[in-house]
Amino acid sequence: MLRSLTPLAIVLSMALFLVPAHAFETQARGAIVIDTSTGTILLNKNADEPQPPASMSKLMTLYVTFEAIRDGRLTLEEKLPVSEHAMSFGGSTMFLDTTDRVSVEDLLRGIIVLSGNDACVVLAEALSPDGTEAGFAQYMTQRAQQMGMTNSVFKNSSGWPATGHVMSSRDLALLARRIIEDFPEYYPMFAETEFEFDGRAPQNTQNRNPLLRLNIGADGLKTGHTQRAGYGLVGSAKQGDRRVVFVVNGLDTARQRAIESEAILSWAFRQFVEKSVIKKGTKVAEADVWMGRTDTVALEAMENVTTLLPILSSDEVAAEIIYDGPIHAPVLKGDELAKLVITPEGLPELEIPLYAAEDVPTGGFMIRLKTVSMVLLARLQAGPDADLASEG
């Protein structure tokens, strides 16, 4: 059976007051805020609801392109042709035409900084399994599913309004984290505030991300807007050793998007603090062992464990160790035996695997005889009614 040891309190290094975290009140239709260093979800509002993502879905086109460059199917210097289909798009564009051949690097900046719909289509047609944007969209959907983005379906490469073209806030946050972690060599492009392509679009040279010029650590990623989707932003910022990724979607105005995004970052960085909970190799507790040379085995964490807590929190955190016991000998050092469940005030539970800190060999004949004798004695003392009850 699952057995819970006596709930324990993990003493932290700072003595603080016991006050739950206050949830951020966002006007967005969908939102999520994640502290990436600990994986803690600080805010979840309809995060799994598929919604029109507008230009924020360009992040998937960028991710697939980064993969193609990494795999050698494209190079930054390679110049690609512009089709009539790519040239036909309105909205945010690089003002490309069919006489152009544009380098992949310029196309990437055209998407990241200028949100160019035409640039998306040029890359889509170059990487599509069948040479069409529709084929590329199908590939994007399949790749998203493989990456765990289960609420994403793409009908095009740019986020141009189309029935059934949807992503959830959680999927967008996952995609943002993958871009940051998988392609650090390209991520600095997302912090660029201006890109002038060939002098042909003076009215479209500025990055629309409202956070990049505020000196608050913001360095990405992508805005989005259509009439149906509203205003959205996939954002990220780093302050010290902490990074926060967030998504807001469905806001009413660009100004509201700017205000809410800045407020979210301020709240995430100022209202929460990362604290050490367990040091690697520290004995956390002991678990009972059956038929072992010793009656218990020490439990430890294999890695240093940190968690995010509200700044106005307690100096103790409620925690519980759960394992299926008693554990049968032999036990080998490093065997995963239990989990430590930590419940911070106002935040999701944190589960930490615990491992055997030492070997516990099977006991000798006398130990086994002693264990059997104790079991028999316990049954005799409990009486026949207890045995009948246990069989029911």
213, exposed or middle or buried, with CB in 10 Å at 0-12, 13-18, 19+?
exposed
Task: Classify strands 296-300 and 101-103 as parallel, antiparallel or unpaired.
Answer: unpaired
Single-letter residue type at 129 = P
Question: In angstroms, what CA-CA distances link 119 with 64, 91, 109?
Answer: 14, 12, 9
Catalytic, 45? Answer no
Distance CA 277, CA 97 (A): 58
Whether 132 contacts 125, CB under 8 Å? yes
* Paired strand residues for 247: 32, 234
Single-letter residue type at 166 = V
Instruction: Give yes or no for a cis peptide into 330 (omega within 30° of 0).
Output: yes
* Residue 78, phi then psi, degrees to nearest 5: -60, 135
Whether 341 contacts 354, CB under 8 Å? no
Whether 70 contacts 55, CB under 8 Å? no
Catalytic, 58? Answer yes
Catalytic, 55? Answer yes
Distance CA 319, CA 351 (A): 10
Q: State the maximum Cα–Cα separation within the chain, in Å, rounded to a whole number.
A: 94
Of the candidates 57, 83, 92, 115, the residue annotated as catalytic is: 115
Of the candidates 45, 58, 155, 238, the residue annotated as catalytic is: 58
* Paired strand residues for 153: 166
Which residues are part of the catalytic machinery? Answer: 55, 58, 115
